[in-house]
Amino acid sequence: MKQWKNPKLLIETHGITCEGPIWDNLTNKLYYIDVSGKLLHIFEWAANIDVAITLPQKVGFVALTVKNDILLGLEDGIYRYTKDGNLQRAHDSFVFAGDRLNDGKVGPDGGLYTGTIQRTGGAMFYRFGGNSFTTLLESVKLSNGLDWSMDGQILYYCDTLTHRIDAFDFDSENGTISNRRPVIEIPVECGSPDGLTIDVDDNLWIALWGGGRVIKVNPNNGEIIGEIILPVSRVSCCSFAGGDLDQLIITTASGGGTTETEPLGGCVFVAQVDTRGRAPFRF
């Protein structure tokens, strides 16, 4: 198994719960969020400048659009954040099952896929198509990381409290999923699976919250074939960035403050890895 032990500190932000990094290949900007800090971060890659924008609610994800603005998953719905800094609700009023929206991504069909949190199992996983929501999964506890195979035919999905990554057959014409099956189960002592991404070789990169690492997994057999060791235990998410999409961005959480043992909690790291990702889909 290959190991990367010295990821570079990219942004010393010390966020409470930094999450959801996404690379805008058209502007060379990196977006990420601080869920509990209620912040949207915009990192100017070339200038090495990080700007934080305060939001009115906790935020679960940031996604790109074909209009070159962004979508944000706030506690009570999806909002469009426009180029001039306005925040506009993207849909009619909708009552979500669960406490709030969490992780989300745009799929190969152009739909937005996101889920909610309710640790007793009352959350759901949805597809948002422009104004309406379609329920794809019920009895979810902590909807989290997701991504699609390179051919767009498989959705990989994480309900964190199951300690498992599952695969679904994905129908891009209808935006539906079927044939759920396990890919890998993460032992409790190794941490909890959180955000994830996929590379051009169809391997998964999975952040382990409480595990202090990102693991590289072959989804065909569930084998762990690589890992990135971080100096922070709460590793929240990862995604590919940079001009060649060959640098893995890794977000972490501090939980509200740094400690002597984890002074870099809540910072953003980057690892030069042996593969590339793909540009994100746009809504």
- Measuring CA to CA, which residue among 5, 48, 49, 45 is closest to residue 24? 45
Which domain CATH number covers 116?
Answer: 2.120.10.30
Residue-number span of the structural domain to which 191 is assigned:
2-272
**Which residue in 52, 66, 61, 56 sits closest to 24, CA to CA?**
66
Copy the structure tokens of residue 271: 């690892």
Task: Decide: 247 and 24 in contact? Cβ < 8 Å.
Answer: no
Number of domains in the chain: 1
Summarize the confidence of residues 70-96 as an average pLDDT: 94
Residue 227 inside a domain? The answer is yes
Taking the alpha carbons at both ends of the chain, their separation in whole angstroms is 36
Whole-Å CA distances, 145 to 53, 82, 155, 164, 234: 23, 25, 11, 11, 15
Q: Counting beta carbons within 10 angstroms of the beta carbon of residue 30, is it exposed (0 to 12), middle (13 to 18) or buried (19 or more)?
A: buried
Residue 282 lies in a domain: no
Q: Is residue 236 part of a domain?
A: yes
Q: For residue range 18-42, what is the model confidence (pLDDT) as tens digits?
A: 999 999 999 999 999 999 999 999 9
Give the whole-angstrom CA distance, residue 18 versus residue 41.
9
Instruction: Indicate whether 212 belongs to any domain.
Output: yes
In a domain, 279, yes or no: no
pLDDT of residue 259: 72
Query: pLDDT-based confidence at 237, cuts 50/70/90?
Result: very high
213 within a domain of the structure (yes/no): yes
Strand extents, DSSP E, 141-242: 143-148, 154-159, 164-171, 176-185, 192-198, 204-209, 213-218, 223-229, 235-241
Say if 18 falls within a structural domain: yes
Confidence of residue 257 (pLDDT cuts 50, 70, 90): low
pLDDT tens digits along 187-227: 999 999 999 999 999 999 999 999 999 999 999 999 999 99
281 falls within a domain: no
> Which pTM was predicted?
0.97
pLDDT 10s digits, 140-174: 999 999 999 999 999 999 999 999 999 999 999 99
Joined together, the tokens standing for residue 137 give 């999964």
